[in-house]
Structure 1
């Protein structure tokens, strides 16, 4: 019992230190007075938990995704330079331009991979939205949140490249012109069928609802798989997995506006829900990463879904302005 009490005490101190570290971080953004800095240093020296909590927070705030979440504040930073004379006006203008230029350079660097995908794409779905596209041959493609495709129908070809995200294909029957979907690690060839392809995570996932498809590895010299309805296969840089049974209700639940998982590690489940959230989510600790969770969550309220998932894993939630959620 004594050991248990000690553990609880440490947990309480750690939680309090994390809360205080966040308070100090927010305060130091606007208050650079020497007395404030001295008070902060005194707090940091009070206990190892305080110093560790603030160091963890600094590591988290260096993440590119947190930078993206805060660049929306750049207009306020530029407007904060208020000219009071001709000389200060010129100085303020230069300072504002420097801030804006620096921020824009950072934005381009961080967002470059996404920008390149958008340039290549013919159709894109926004975060939290689903979008249905009718292709030139009459086939239909349903795009999940934050997904993109490029199409090539020139010269009788029927080829779609899934650049990111998830897509469900309902293909018009045309035996003379095979329909090919290209992922990162595999091509899926069909003549008339309905199936889903996902490029999220470290693998491409192909789920067949009806019909018949052939999946060919493009990352290795050999490797093909024939899928029957209610089967799936994954493709990585090492080749194809074994064909396994799947429940399309769960695998393709996004088509009904849901995310469904059973005994999935917390970090993977959170990654699924974050795709629907038009904000930023940061995890300040790794202790929940492998906690197994199950759930059936609506994607039209991702904030509530993330909060429910975090609570089920035992995480505490702090909300910051701009839709930023911190889990700890």
Structure 2
């Protein structure tokens, strides 16, 4: 795809934006610091911005990492700009050239850095809408749901899985001498032989037990824990383990059979789950739609069909925009 100068398209440097506001700010600083020799005020402001939020430094370092990577350098070399103006390590370059290169950073997917970082760590991954079953070295079975990534450690008798993203179900072979552990973002599950699922998200990990017994530990300072019996579930946040509550595995784990089941659930909650299986955005134009209560049992390989049926049942409009965007209003 050809590259156009920002001035040719009528786009200014400040309009090189991304949906992520932290990414926008990082990109702005990236361009500013390479557009001219910064003065003390600029450097002070930059350091203050870095200190405001750990995500700021992570986003900026991701830009620097990509800037120095060979794929990015190859992409920049293909730009219709004097190469000498762009590729000069340890030196500043014109603001226009930096802005131009910044647009390549966007095109190269720097804002997918967290996903790339996970991909580098993972032993197994699934894409959006995909599932796969894996036989583990100890004979246990692991089933990965949509958009899931895991890292394995079975060296020296260990049986440990890190759930980096998504949701997985484990059917574990009993081995009293070697406990089987699964860690998510906030919690860890330890078992000897059982079947359970772990789902990790931005705010919490969820554990559902189908059979056997497990102990769920919070990876936080208070090290809270809970023991689950079949048909029970628990959530773990950055600070605590929730009370144990009942969960129907046939419903909570219906994804293993390629279905999603819900009863008297808010449509907004259902849509949030369906988004995990749909490659395009699903948007709601009226917040009242999210509050509607729905019941259903749908196939996960036809998310669009499920959305149409839900829209009809809720009496709201369904609009499909080219490119995969779906709007309910």
Tell me the TM-score normalized by structure 1: 0.68
What is the aligned length? 243
Name 1:241's counterpart in structure 2.
242
Q: How does 1:15-164 map to 2 (within 5 A)?
A: 63=19, 93=80, 102=103, 104-106=105-107, 108-164=109-165
Cα distance in 1 for partners of 2:165, 2:138 equals 22
List gaps (5 residues or longer) in structure 2: 1-8, 10-16, 21-78, 82-96
Cα distance in 2 for partners of 1:114, 1:315 equals 34
Name 1:287's counterpart in structure 2.
288
Cα distance in 1 for partners of 2:204, 2:315 equals 29
Distance 1:192 1:268, change over 3 A: same
Shift in Å at residue 119 of structure 1? 1.3
8 Å CA contact 2:222, 2:239 repeated in 1: no
Tell me the TM-score normalized by structure 2: 0.68
List gaps (5 residues or longer) in structure 1: 1-31, 33-60, 65-91
Shift in Å at residue 201 of structure 1? 5.8
Shift in Å at residue 103 of structure 1? 5.2
2:167 is the counterpart of 1:179 = no
Distance 1:252 1:135, change over 3 A: same
The structure whose residues are more often helix, as a share, is: 1
8 Å CA contact 1:274, 1:306 repeated in 2: no
Shift in Å at residue 123 of structure 1? 0.3
2:205 is the counterpart of 1:208 = no
8 Å CA contact 1:270, 1:309 repeated in 2: no
Distance 1:268 1:201, change over 3 A: farther
Name 1:191's counterpart in structure 2.
192
8 Å CA contact 1:166, 1:198 repeated in 2: yes
SS of the residue aligned with 1:126?
A: coil
8 Å CA contact 2:267, 2:290 repeated in 1: yes
- Say what the alpha-carbon RMSD is for the aligned residues: 2.7
Shift in Å at residue 93 of structure 1? 5.0
Shift in Å at residue 228 of structure 1? 0.9
2:235 is the counterpart of 1:251 = no
